[in-house]
């Protein structure tokens, strides 16, 4: 029976963007009765317990090619907090689900992680990572470069993080299995050689606009390219890229409003999201309110927000049903997960006038309006304050569960593979 492996660079700490897509993919494969596994590498995010973190987000079957080399990685956390009292230079202790010591951060930037005992230590000054097992030191990692190098202290062998991924896949997969990797900054030669030399099929999933000159390096000619926008397949041709929806909606609700004054904005508010546009627009429109789900843009604190802008932070499930409208001010969106989700909950969507997703959805749904700047956005919000008849955005309809399930069957060949 075919198995699907999703390769991911870091342990996620929230379920936005890539993680939402990977969790949706997990549910699709479960529906297809296809076994799947998330294969993780890299040390970018230090968390109190990577197993708990992933399970709390909803991931079910996963393997970390670095941490899981230790027999301590899956041990139940059991180090009590009074242990920390004897340590010097501690800045913060981060606890596991049951209140045990998970992560200790020190003044010099170093980090220690515990399960039943010390699992790993990261020395910030030396850029040195040490992994322990029940017998003592197991791995030493030089993490000063982009592609970390790890030496097994027992065997003497040294591997990069991507060689560890390749080694794990070589021992735990077959050529009949399928492999998906969500866009990485660049595709390392070790990974490319593994797939080329073993005859395995890799689907490289790109979540960004590869028509942007800065993103052209993402497109690969040695594997199958998947993209998160039907516009990209239309412009580049299905012989080069294929569109696969990154998420699905279970069902859709269509609503009508006599006015719309309760809006939300959702996501990781980097400079690309231009969340400050929305904040400043609502500062001048006190009769409407905005709720921010995610983080605040650089330069803003909660104290900087006007009274009608509310900050909720990252939440597991955005309560779209509590709102009437959704706003996105992004510089660019390939699929715009949150917009699709908001549309399925019957919200009116106001989107910045940019490629790819925003213009595409506005072309498919006349109830979805575009704006070019803060002043345009203010005018639209003001218009929706007045009594009228406003229909919700309906562009979610292409991405219902059944439609996306069919895309997976057709594009990834499961109609044939499931018979093997």
pLDDT for position 144:
83
Q: Which residues contact 317 (CB under 8 A, 6 or more apart)?
A: none
For the chain, what percent of residues have pLDDT higher than 70? 97
- Decide: helix, strand or coil at residue 151: strand
Of 111-115, 220-224, 229-233, 281-285, least confident by mean pLDDT is 220-224
Does residue 310 register a pLDDT over 70? yes
What are the extents of the domains in the chain? 256-398
- d(CA 391, CA 257) in angstroms, rounded, equals 6
Does residue 398 register a pLDDT over 50? yes
Cα torsion 263, 353, 275, 333 to 10°: value is: 100
- d(CA 125, CA 144) in angstroms, rounded, equals 10
pLDDT-derived band at 84, boundaries 50, 70, 90: very high
Report which of residues 71 and 41 the model is more confident about.
71
pLDDT for position 122:
96
pLDDT tens string 102-149: 999 999 999 999 999 999 999 999 999 999 999 999 999 988 877 789
| Whether the Cβ atoms of residue 399 and residue 247 lie closer than 8 Å to each other | yes
Does residue 415 register a pLDDT over 50? no
| Whether the Cβ atoms of residue 51 and residue 88 lie closer than 8 Å to each other | no
| 356 upstream amide cis, omega within 30 of 0 | yes
Of 119-128, 185-194, 241-250, least confident by mean pLDDT is 185-194
When mean pLDDT is compared over 140-154, 203-217, 293-307, the highest value belongs to 293-307
pLDDT for position 417:
44
CA 203 to chain centre: 17
pLDDT tens string 177-189: 999 998 766 678 8
- d(CA 10, CA 41) in angstroms, rounded, equals 6
Instruction: Compute the average pLDDT of residues 276-297.
Output: 97
Q: Is 287 exposed, middle or buried (0-12, 13-18, 19+ CB in 10 A)?
A: exposed
Q: What is the CATH number of domain 256-398?
A: 3.40.50.2000
Residue 141 main-chain phi, psi, to 5 deg: -120, 130
pLDDT for position 25:
93
């Amino acid at each position: 029976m075919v198995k699907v492996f999703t390769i991911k660079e870091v342990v996620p700490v929230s379920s936005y963007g890539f993680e939402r897509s990977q969790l949706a993919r997990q549910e699709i494969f479960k529906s297809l009765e296809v076994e799947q596994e998330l294969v993780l590498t890299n040390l970018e995010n230090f968390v109190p317990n990577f197993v708990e973190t992933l399970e709390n987000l909803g991931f079910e079957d996963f393997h970390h090619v670095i941490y899981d080399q230790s027999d301590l990685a899956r041990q139940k956390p059991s180090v009590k907090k009074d242990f920390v009292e004897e340590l010097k230079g501690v800045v913060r202790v981060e606890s596991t689900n049951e209140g045990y010591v998970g992560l200790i951060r020190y003044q010099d930037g170093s980090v220690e992680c515990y399960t039943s005992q010390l699992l790993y230590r990261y020395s910030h000054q030396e850029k040195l990572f040490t992994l322990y097992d029940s017998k003592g030191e197991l791995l030493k990692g030089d993490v000063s470069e982009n592609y970390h190098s790890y030496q097994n202290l027992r065997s003497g062998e040294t591997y990069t993080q991507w060689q560890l991924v390749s080694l794990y896949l070589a021992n735990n997969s077959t050529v009949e299995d399928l492999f998906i990797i969500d866009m990485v900054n660049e595709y390392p030669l070790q990974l490319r050689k593994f797939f080329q030399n073993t005859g395995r099929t890799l689907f490289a999933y790109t979540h960004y606009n590869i028509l942007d000159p800065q993103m052209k390096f993402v497109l690969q000619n040695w594997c199958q390219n998947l993209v998160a926008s039907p516009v990209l397949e239309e412009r580049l041709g299905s012989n080069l890229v294929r569109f696969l929806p990154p998420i699905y909606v279970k069902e859709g609700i269509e609503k009508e409003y006599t006015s719309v004054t309760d809006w939300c904005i959702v996501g990781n508010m980097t400079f690309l999201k231009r969340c400050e546009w929305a904040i400043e627009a609502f500062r001048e429109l006190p009769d409407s309110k905005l709720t921010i789900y995610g983080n605040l843009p650089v330069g803003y604190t909660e104290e900087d927000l006007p009274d009608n802008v509310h900050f909720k932070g990252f939440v597991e499930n955005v309560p779209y049903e509590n709102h009437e409208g959704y706003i996105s001010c992004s510089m660019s969106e390939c699929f715009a997960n949150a917009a699709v989700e908001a549309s399925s909950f019957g919200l009116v969507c106001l989107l910045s006038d940019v490629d790819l997703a925003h213009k595409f959805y506005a072309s498919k749904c006349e109830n979805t309006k575009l704006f070019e700047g803060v002043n345009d956005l203010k005018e639209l919000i003001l218009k929706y304050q007045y009594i009228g008849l406003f229909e919700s955005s309906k562009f979610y309809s292409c991405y219902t569960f059944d439609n996306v399930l069919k895309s997976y069957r057709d594009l990834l060949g499961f109609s044939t593979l499931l018979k093997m």
